[in-house]
Structure 1
Amino acid sequence: MTTMPCLGNGETVCLCSWLNYPLGKYSVRGLRVALTLSSPEVSASTVAVLDGVFRALGFESCRRRGASVQGFPRELAGFREQLDAHRGPVGCALVAAVAPRGQLRQPRQLVRELSCCGALRGCPKVFLLLSSTPGAAPEPGAFLTGLQELCGRSPHWPLLQLLTEVFCRTAEETSGTTYCPVLRSSLRGALCLGDVGPWGPEPAPGPSAQYDLSGARAALLLAVIQGRPGARHDVEALGGLCEALGFETTLRTDPTAQASILSPLQAFLEELAQFRERLDTHRGPVSCALVALMAHGGPQGQLLAVDGQEVWPEALVQELSGCRALRGCPKVFLLQACRGGHRDAGAGPTLLPWFQRWLQVPPATSSHADVLQIYADAQGGICSGPTPGSCDQADILTVYATAEGCVAYRDEKGSDFIQTLVEVLRAEPQGDLLELLTEANRQVCELDVLGPDSDERRKACLEMRSSLRRRLYLQA
């Protein structure tokens, strides 16, 4: 491995790992290590199944640590220190945290701890966040058993595709209950963990592995134009894409007709309610719905109107998730708005552009990138309420323009998120949507943006939240 410890900031450039990074796919050469954090209430059979999953995916080091949930961050900090002290390259880290339902309330703290690991910079970090149900049978449920079986049979599959298949199996085996896993991804490429190679072409999925989009498709675009330079370009680009993909598109911008009664965002919710009613009364089958909302964002991730009114994005999802016509059909939400005030300077070596090109070193990327979180139930029990895992959250894909807590960037030409997304989907409309969004994220992460209040370069990163149970192809 060739290294050059001459960056002036104490960092060492690992040319081996960067030069072997295939376009659109992670190179996971080097140490692949897994860690299981389990609270005392977790059964030994659950931990044993996790060990089987790790080994099927080619993790040569599988560590276990028993601790209270409050001790998980401390254990993970020690894990991070061990990785940073490792002398060779690190390819990937997988952390499984298993605790009673409701106790894993701050997964961001775990993600943030491992994202600070210098040895994992630019490498995928996977978190399997499992809740155990008090009083449930100690045997693992449909999700874990399905994950173990599929990892053993098809370890070469890209992980997002593998998880989508597991989600489908889990939902089928728990028919009549209210269970569906959820994933959150900021990955920048396909992640294949099995010890197989070279990667060959993926087999075409069968009809049952993908959503049937033979029925009507409907799109609703809601945009705040006032006070948002470039927003009109986003509306035009996204509207043209939806029409090209066969969506019957409804556009609403800056609603003012009911301004004396409703705020703009409340009017948008009313528009969404009417959109749902139109779908429920549609005479033929409806196969897919897409909702895009482009507005200002607040410090806690809420959507803001120019009059100061606010609404939470989850309210939009809840409104459409109860649509009878869309039961079992994909529902896609695109949210172009800030989710906080943090401006990410990125992570990576600081080099002059010409020196960076000479070394073939990739640019700094968002510190929020390369993370995959999976939320599931260890026993496959019954969930209630609008939480990750409930049935009214199934078949939903939400794409955020930025990571949680961060600013979403936009200029007079439009937003990085919408403009890049439209370009990627127009270039390959037949592709799997999760894969296309991952490619869009890779391109967004490579951009350097200038904030309106700073001359310093900043980085952005998309985030996907998916409970899709099949592959989604918007164009056959």
Structure 2
Amino acid sequence: MAFLVSGTLRMAAQIADAQDSLGRKGKYNLQAPRVALTLSSPEVSASTIAVLEDVFQTLGFESCQRREASVQDFLRELTVFREQLDAHGGPMGCALVALVAPRGQLRQPQQLVRELSRCGALQGCPKVFLLLSSTSGGAPKPGAFLTSLGELCGRCPHWSLLQLLTEVFCRTAEESSGATYCPVLRSSLRGALCLGDGETWKPKPEPCPSAQYDLSGARAALFLAVIRDRPGAQHDVKALGDLCQALGFETTLRTDPTAQAFQEELAQFREQLDTHRDPVSCALVALMAHGGPQGQLLGADGQEVQPEVLVQELNCCGALRGCPKIFLLQACRGGHRDAGMGPKARPWFWRWLQAPPAIPSHADILQIDVDAQGSSSSGSTPGNSDILMVYAATEGCIAYRDEKKGSDFIQTLVEVLRTDPGGDLLELLTEVNRQVCELDVLGPDCDEPRKACLEIYSSLRRRLCLQV
């Protein structure tokens, strides 16, 4: 009898692990097959495709398909790919989709991202989208990026993909008209994604000191928080303020700003940094407000301001040239309430195993825009370097806030950073997202649990550790 129970629980554990590729260890389990797809328009050169195929091989993708189609047909081709994966009959480890088209043609990649997110075989698995611009004939423009990515994955297989991309961004960023333009990543990953084949017992290679931002100078933080009609917001302000003080940030708080005041306060903050008596090494801006249906921030007067305008204001700060600029946005980005994906009725043994809860439908996505400069596909970041933006909700979704304790995003962020203040901030934010994704939120609209998921935009070119 004991043998039967043991065997049943062991099989149940395997089933539970198959439903959650993180394996309960904060790292994606890539034991199942990895699949890759290249969607390219007819204008794309053969040399670009050849470089991509070499990178896929280096990254350990067993199945690599290529389909040539017009950009307008990308969605149809991706639907066929999704249906093939669902018909496979077994779990997948990871999917990588490269979208290659001439600059400016790929305007709405989020439709393609959502299509692959519907794939049942990839539920809980990382889905990586690589957006590349190419011209016909000659060497491919993204060649340097792809070559660096393949080389680093082969040399540093223990690094997470976020760490590798940060290094690649440093190598491939371009100077133009006094500004530094950089690829952009957009992540809702819930764990470390390591595509290399290195042995797990080997120590991770430590990056050299020059690969980390120097934060020895002054640090400044600005909080713009609408408290009125946002119960619980005061708890976020208090918790984040205490954390910033512990990390050495000189903090300025402005409550209940109007939409115009959002812009004016950012402009004044930038001017203060430009005239600061000591060198400035880092700036943090926390924006807390109600959000509009298209991701706008609503001031205390109900008027709208675009977050991109505020980002550009700080990006013009000369004192912060080459320094990290962090934006935390606790605001709704639409009205969708995500019920998550997962089995509604669970077997009895899942309660014994503490199987993972439903997964937010927007989780486990990594989107990389190699040609962010002048591109309309990069989302909210314009391709300027050294920017980190963290949204409390994915595009189109509600950002939840508890009246008694504050928002899950800010409170979890503070807890994680207090536990490991010297860790790589991108990795810590991924852990914050994992914890937020596991929570069940009871929304005001009904008694059914809802899910939340962070979205991280980064054009950082070095490791960012807030405690040296």
SS at 1:411 equivalent: coil
Residue identity matched to 2:393: T
User: Which of 112, 115, 139 pairs up with 2:114?
Assistant: 112
Equivalent residues of 2:94, 2:126 under 8 A apart: yes
Residue identity matched to 1:376: V
User: Which of 280, 296, 315 pairs up with 2:290?
Assistant: 296
Q: Which residue of 2 aligns with 1:287?
A: 281
Q: Which residue of 2 aligns with 1:370?
A: 364
Listed one character per residue, the Cα deviations across residues 357-406 of structure 1 (whole Å, up to 9, x for unaligned) are: 225421101010000000013xxxx9448984998721000000000000
Q: Which residue of 1 aligns with 2:228?
A: 226
Q: Which residue of 1 aligns with 2:394?
A: 403
**Cα distance in 1 for residues equivalent to 2:147 and 2:341:** 37
Distance 1:366 1:3, change over 3 A: farther
Correspondence 1:34-433 to 2 at 5 A: 34-133=36-135, 137-138=139-140, 140-171=142-173, 179-198=181-200, 200-255=202-257, 264-351=258-345, 355-377=349-371, 383-384=373-374, 388=378, 393-412=384-403, 413-433=405-425
SS at 2:328 equivalent: strand
Distance 1:249 1:24, change over 3 A: same
Distance 1:224 1:303, change over 3 A: same
Q: Which residue of 1 aligns with 2:3?
A: none
SS at 2:42 equivalent: coil
Distance 1:467 1:30, change over 3 A: same
Q: Which residue of 2 aligns with 1:450?
A: 442
**Cα distance in 1 for residues equivalent to 2:118 and 2:327:** 30
Structure 1 window deviating more from structure 2 (311-320 vs 201-210): it is 201-210
**Shift of residue 269, structure 1, vs aligned partner:** 1.4
**Cα distance in 2 for residues equivalent to 1:209 and 1:24:** 24
Residue identity matched to 2:122: L
Residue identity matched to 1:445: C
SS at 2:251 equivalent: strand
In structure 1, list runs of 5 or more residues that go unmatched. Answer: 256-263
Equivalent residues of 1:349, 1:363 under 8 A apart: no
**Shift of residue 136, structure 1, vs aligned partner:** 6.9
Residue identity matched to 2:313: E
Distance 1:50 1:360, change over 3 A: same
Distance 1:385 1:223, change over 3 A: same
**Shift of residue 143, structure 1, vs aligned partner:** 1.5
**Cα distance in 1 for residues equivalent to 2:332 and 2:321:** 30
User: Which of 459, 467, 474 pairs up with 2:459?
Assistant: 467
User: Equivalent pairs: percent with the same residue?
Assistant: 76
**Cα distance in 2 for residues equivalent to 1:426 and 1:297:** 28
**Cα distance in 1 for residues equivalent to 2:71 and 2:438:** 36
Q: Which residue of 2 aligns with 1:440?
A: 432
**Shift of residue 271, structure 1, vs aligned partner:** 0.9
**Cα distance in 2 for residues equivalent to 1:472 and 1:310:** 31
> Alignment length, in residue pairs?
457
Structure 1 window deviating more from structure 2 (87-96 vs 346-355): it is 346-355
Equivalent residues of 1:115, 1:368 under 8 A apart: yes
Equivalent residues of 1:31, 1:88 under 8 A apart: no
**Shift of residue 22, structure 1, vs aligned partner:** 4.2
**Cα distance in 1 for residues equivalent to 2:366 and 2:21:** 23
Q: Which residue of 2 aligns with 1:261?
A: none
Distance 1:67 1:14, change over 3 A: farther
**Cα distance in 2 for residues equivalent to 1:84 and 1:392:** 35
**Shift of residue 203, structure 1, vs aligned partner:** 2.6
SS at 1:287 equivalent: strand
**Cα distance in 1 for residues equivalent to 2:301 and 2:82:** 45
Residue identity matched to 1:465: Y
**Cα distance in 2 for residues equivalent to 1:86 and 1:385:** 35
Equivalent residues of 1:187, 1:371 under 8 A apart: yes
TM-score using structure 2 length? 0.92
Residue identity matched to 2:388: L
**Cα distance in 2 for residues equivalent to 1:148 and 1:174:** 26
Equivalent residues of 2:39, 2:74 under 8 A apart: yes
SS at 1:201 equivalent: coil
Residue identity matched to 1:300: Q
**Cα distance in 1 for residues equivalent to 2:128 and 2:244:** 32
Distance 1:18 1:178, change over 3 A: closer
**Cα distance in 2 for residues equivalent to 1:282 and 1:371:** 39
**Cα distance in 2 for residues equivalent to 1:97 and 1:345:** 29
Q: Which residue of 1 aligns with 2:4?
A: none
**Shift of residue 131, structure 1, vs aligned partner:** 1.7
Distance 1:15 1:376, change over 3 A: closer
Cα RMSD, aligned residues only: 2.5
Equivalent residues of 2:262, 2:305 under 8 A apart: no
Residue identity matched to 1:270: E
Listed one character per residue, the Cα deviations across residues 310-332 of structure 1 (whole Å, up to 9, x for unaligned) are: 00110110000010000000000
Q: Which residue of 2 aligns with 1:259?
A: none
SS at 1:369 equivalent: coil
**Shift of residue 141, structure 1, vs aligned partner:** 3.6
**Cα distance in 1 for residues equivalent to 2:223 and 2:438:** 27
Residue identity matched to 1:206: C
**Shift of residue 349, structure 1, vs aligned partner:** 1.3
**Cα distance in 2 for residues equivalent to 1:419 and 1:346:** 22
TM-score using structure 1 length? 0.90
Equivalent residues of 2:158, 2:205 under 8 A apart: no
